C-alpha cells in the first residue's frame, strides 16, 4: 500500500526592510571589484613599472643616469658640443639613461647599438638670470609621452626665495605624471640665503624626504661626503635615492671612490653629468662605474680593470 506523506513546506522567514538592505550591501561588498584592481589603475601601475625597468637594471635595481641638460643652463660646454656622439659614448659605456630637455631627443635618438633610457627634464633656468636658482617648467608630462620618455624630472631648490613656486610645480607634475603612469625623478637641492652647507646631512635628509612626500618615484640629492652620513639620508627616505655628481672632480679615483661609498651607504645609483661627459674617455669611466654599481667591484679593481 502506498503511503502518502504530507508535503512539508519550507518555512521562509520574513525579513525586515533593514535586514534586507543589509544583505544586499554585504553581497555587493563581497563581490565588488577592489579599487586597487581597477583596469585603468592596473594599466597605469604596469606602465610605470615598465618605464622604471628601462632606467633601472632589472637584476640589481640600480641605475646610472647621465644628465645632459646643461646646455640650457650654461650653454654648449665641452663634452656637449657633439650631442649625438656624447649619447653614443655613454650608451656604450653602460649608462641606464640620459636626461635632457625636449629639443634634444629628436637629434640624439639612437637607431643602433645598445639601448638607453630617456628622462625628459621639465625644469629650467639659466646662469645669466639674476634668479638662476629659480626653476620654471618648460615642458609637460605629455611632452615626455610624445617623445617616448621613460620618466620625467623636475628640479627644486629648497631655500630659494621662490621655493613655493617650485614646490607647486613639483606637486602638479607628480599628480599629472601619476595619472599617466609616468615615473618622476625629483632633483632636490638646498640652495638659498639660509643654507650654510648644502651637503650637510640634515639638509640633504630633508631634501630627500621632500621628494618622497611630494610624489617622486626617485629622488636625486647631493652626496653628504661619507657613507656614514649618507646612510642617514637613505634610511629617512622610502624611494630610491641617487647621488648627484657635483662639480668636476680632479681625478678618476675621486669619482670612483664617491660612487663606491654611496653604494655602500645604500644609494640606488648615480646621476653624474660633467664628471662623465667631460671625461677623456666617458665609455671607459662608465664601465668602471657600472662595475662598482652593479657588479660590486671596489675602487681599485674597477680602476685597474677599466681605466688603467
Active site residue: 89, 189, 205, 261, which one?
A: 189
Q: What is the C-alpha to C-alpha distance for residues 192 and 194, in angstroms, rounded to an integer? A: 6
Which residues are within 8 A (CB) of 240 and not within 5 positions of it... i.e. 6 or more apart? Answer: 56, 61, 63, 217, 218, 219, 268, 269
Q: What is the C-alpha to C-alpha distance for residues 120 and 173, in angstroms, rounded to an integer? A: 12
Q: At residue 187, what are phi and psi to the nearest 5 degrees?
A: -95, 115
Q: Is 69 a catalytic residue?
A: yes
Q: Is 306 a catalytic residue?
A: no
Active site residue: 48, 89, 205, 220, which one?
A: 220
Q: Is 223 a catalytic residue?
A: no
Active site residue: 62, 69, 88, 252, which one?
A: 69
Instruction: Tell me the sheet residues that pair with 121.
Output: 153
* Catalytic machinery residues: 69, 189, 220
Amino acid at each position: 500500500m502506498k503511503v502518502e506523506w504530507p508535503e512539508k513546506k519550507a518555512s521562509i522567514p520574513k525579513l525586515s526592510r533593514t535586514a534586507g538592505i543589509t544583505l544586499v550591501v554585504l553581497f555587493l561588498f563581497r563581490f565588488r571589484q577592489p579599487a586597487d584592481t581597477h583596469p585603468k589603475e592596473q594599466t597605469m601601475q604596469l606602465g610605470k613599472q615598465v618605464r622604471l625597468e628601462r632606467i633601472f637594471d632589472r637584476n640589481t635595481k640600480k641605475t646610472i643616469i647621465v644628465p645632459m641638460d646643461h646646455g640650457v643652463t650654461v650653454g654648449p660646454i665641452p663634452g656637449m658640443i657633439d650631442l649625438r656622439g656624447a649619447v653614443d659614448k655613454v650608451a656604450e659605456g653602460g649608462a641606464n639613461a640620459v636626461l635632457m630637455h625636449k629639443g634634444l631627443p629628436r637629434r640624439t635618438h639612437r637607431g643602433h647599438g645598445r639601448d638607453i633610457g630617456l628622462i625628459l627634464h621639465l625644469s629650467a633656468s639659466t646662469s645669466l638670470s639674476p634668479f638662476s636658482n629659480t626653476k620654471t617648467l618648460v615642458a609637460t608630462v605629455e611632452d615626455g609621452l610624445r617623445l617616448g620618455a621613460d620618466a620625467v624630472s623636475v628640479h627644486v631648490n629648497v631655500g630659494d626665495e621662490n621655493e613655493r613656486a617650485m614646490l607647486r610645480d613639483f606637486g602638479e607634475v607628480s599628480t599629472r605624471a601619476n595619472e599617466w603612469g609616468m615615473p618622476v625623478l625629483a632633483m632636490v637641492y638646498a640652495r638659498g640665503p639660509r643654507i650654510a652647507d648644502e651637503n650637510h646631512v640634515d639638509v640633504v635628509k630633508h631634501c630627500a624626504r621632500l621628494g618622497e612626500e611630494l610624489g617622486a618615484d626617485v629622488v636625486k640629492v647631493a652626496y653628504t661626503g661619507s657613507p656614514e652620513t649618507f646612510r642617514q639620508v637613505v634610511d629617512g627616505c622610502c624611494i630610491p635615492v641617487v647621488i648627484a655628481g657635483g662639480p668636476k672632480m680632479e681625478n678618476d679615483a675621486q669619482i670612483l671612490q664617491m660612487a663606491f661609498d654611496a653604494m655602500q651607504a645604500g644609494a640606488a645609483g648615480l646621476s653624474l653629468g660633467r664628471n662623465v661627459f667631460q671625461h677623456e674617455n666617458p665609455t671607459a669611466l662608465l664601465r668602471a662605474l657600472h662595475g662598482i654599481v652593479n657588479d660590486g667591484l671596489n675602487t681599485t679593481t674597477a680602476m685597474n680593470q677599466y681605466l688603467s
